[in-house]
Amino acid sequence: MKIIESTKNEWLKQVKKLEKKKFRDLENRYLIEGEHLVEEAINNEGDIQHILVTETSLVEFENLLATIDEEQLVLVTEDILKHLSHLPSVPSIMAIIGKGNQERKETKTNHLLLLDNVQDPGNVGTMIRTADAAGFAGVVLGEGSADIYNSKVLRSMQGSQFHLNLREANLLEIIETLKEEGYQIYATELNPEAIAYQQIETSEKIAFIMGNEGQGVSQELIEASHQAVYIPMMGKAESLNVAVAAGILMFSV
């Protein structure tokens, strides 16, 4: 078991760099915080590289860590966890996870959610978590969307990255592939040709495209989809939060 007692430790400095996307991409790993996320990683065969614990949490989570090799454990101080954490209260356990292969073969449905330039980490994480709850097979993040492994996205996902397929890709290319596979593609937009979401025909293969918080789905993606769809509103609000709208659409199918 590795023991680290100083925030100036060179290995720890490399871990600290994982708060930046370019280092997460370079090293192909990320940091998760708290008992719940670590438990999700362990129970769902996440690519666990190291688990950081204190002397207290090593005893507290003895059962949780029963299957973890001692070489994977790193004993640190509470100050070190505070140094690494983005949470208001210091977590008692953290883990370094390899991005690895996120492919999940067993899924409840063939439905997919596509995110076009959705920039708010909370929205992205919430939509992934909701897709998980609705039994969707996966979420594809297009260019400009928040990084899956951003600390705020991770907190909002609550471990859903271990349950469904996540990938970053060119959405135009993905849409063409999905069409070839028989998917019906629905882009969210309010226009005269759009249909209310209640009119969507039930299909085994459906993909919804959700757009940027301010600009919506790009015109080229709308044109590439089969149909524009909207959510009728009875009140006077101008629009719905994109994560709320996505939840309505996903659970409707």
HSE toward the beta carbon, residue 250, CA cutoff 13 A? 29
Tell me the pLDDT tens digit for each residue of 44-102. Answer: 989 999 999 999 999 999 999 999 999 999 999 999 999 999 888 999 999 999 996 55
Look at residue 106 and tell me if it is in a domain. Answer: no
Same domain for 194 and 245, yes or no, is yes
Same domain for 145 and 46, yes or no, is no
Same domain for 62 and 127, yes or no, is no
- pLDDT value of residue 129: 98
Tell me the pLDDT tens digit for each residue of 154-213. Answer: 999 999 999 999 999 999 999 999 999 999 999 999 887 899 999 998 889 999 999 999
Same domain for 182 and 238, yes or no, is yes
Percent of the chain with pLDDT over 70: 97
* Residue 64: CATH number of its domain: 3.30.1330.30
Question: β-pairing, 195-196 with 227-230?
Answer: parallel
Average pLDDT over residues 138-158: 96
- pLDDT value of residue 192: 79
- pLDDT value of residue 238: 85
* Residue 139: CATH number of its domain: 3.40.1280.10
Same domain for 53 and 157, yes or no, is no
Average pLDDT over residues 207-226: 96
User: What pTM was estimated for this model as a whole?
Assistant: 0.92
Look at residue 231 and tell me if it is in a domain. Answer: yes
DSSP summary character for residue 179: H
Residue 107 pLDDT greater than 70, yes or no: no
The stretches of the chain forming alpha helices (DSSP H) are 10-16, 21-27, 35-43, 55-60, 78-84, 121-133, 151-157, 171-180, 219-224, 242-252
Look at residue 146 and tell me if it is in a domain. Answer: yes
Same domain for 229 and 138, yes or no, is yes
Q: What is the DSSP string of 96-128?
A: EEE---------S-S-EEEESS---HHHHHHHH
pLDDT range class, residue 42, cuts 50, 70, 90: very high
3-state secondary structure of 100: coil
CA distances from residue 30 to 26, 135, 143, 156 in whole angstroms, order as listed: 10, 25, 20, 15
CA dist 166 and 180 (Å) reads: 20
Same domain for 134 and 221, yes or no, is yes
Look at residue 155 and tell me if it is in a domain. Answer: yes
Average pLDDT over residues 10-18: 96
End residue of a domain, out of 74, 98, 122: 98
End residue of a domain, out of 66, 98, 130: 98
- pLDDT value of residue 193: 86
Same domain for 135 and 226, yes or no, is yes
State the Cα angle at 66 between 164 and 39, rounded to 5°.
Answer: 30
Instruction: Please give the residue range of the domain that contains residue 229.
Output: 112-252
Average pLDDT over residues 98-114: 76
Question: β-pairing, 138-141 with 184-188?
Answer: unpaired
CA distances from residue 243 to 100, 192, 209 in whole angstroms, order as listed: 27, 23, 12
End residue of a domain, out of 54, 75, 98: 98
Check: CB of residue 1 under 8 Å from CB of residue 73.
Answer: yes
Check: CB of residue 84 under 8 Å from CB of residue 41.
Answer: no
Mean pLDDT (the chain) is 94
Same domain for 119 and 13, yes or no, is no
Same domain for 73 and 16, yes or no, is yes
Distance of CA 238 to the CA centre of its chain: 27
Same domain for 126 and 247, yes or no, is yes
Check: CB of residue 236 under 8 Å from CB of residue 202.
Answer: no
- pLDDT value of residue 239: 87
pLDDT range class, residue 104, cuts 50, 70, 90: low
Look at residue 103 and tell me if it is in a domain. Answer: no
If one counts the domains in the chain, the total is 2
Average pLDDT over residues 110-122: 97
Q: Which residue has the tokens 């915080």?
A: 33
Same domain for 116 and 233, yes or no, is yes
